[in-house]
Amino acid sequence: MKDYATLLKESGLKATFQRMNILESIDMFGHMSIEAIYEKVAQTHPSLSLATVYKNIILMVENGVLVEVPIAGKKSKYELVKEDHIHLVCTECGEVEDKPHMQETDTLLHTLTNNEHFKLEKQQINLYGVCEKCQIEEAS
């Protein structure tokens, strides 16, 4: 298990059990909606409200522990801060798959931003489409 307590403290947040539980769930599933996180965390903390989970997630996004992944036409999902990667987002089932950056994408982004004298600080590349599983379901 990762050291979520240290991660929270380094980001200026108190390491509460709720927050550590939220991080553990997201780490297990990769990308999760607030509702899914709430359902998972409520199994161990039945007294927890959706509003509290929501507030904690937003706070952890603001403090750079979590990243919001917008899903076209659906509710956002959240993931732990990781190395830069590309998302393949299925607009049918909402599945999000992580793909590593390639040398070419990094070069492209740097050339593009340098040419514009734009100081690149954060980046998220989301590609929206239909995953293989949903394509098969559509065809049948």
Give Cα separations from 132 to 71, 87, 93, 96, 97 (angstroms): 17, 15, 11, 12, 12
Give the nearest distance from C-beta 33 to Zn ion in angstroms: 14
Asked if 77 contacts 31 with a C-beta cutoff of 8 angstroms, the reply is yes
Task: Tell me which residues touch Zn ion (CB under 5 A).
Answer: 79, 90, 92-93, 95, 98, 131, 134
Q: Which is nearer to Zn ion, 24 or 92 (CB)?
A: 92
Nearest approach in angstroms of CB 131 to Zn ion is 3
Return the amino acid letter for 101. Answer: H
Q: Shortest approach of Zn ion to residue 136 CB, angstroms?
A: 10
| Cβ closest to Zn ion, residue 48 vs residue 67 | 67
How far apart CA 8 and CA 64 sit, in angstroms, is 9
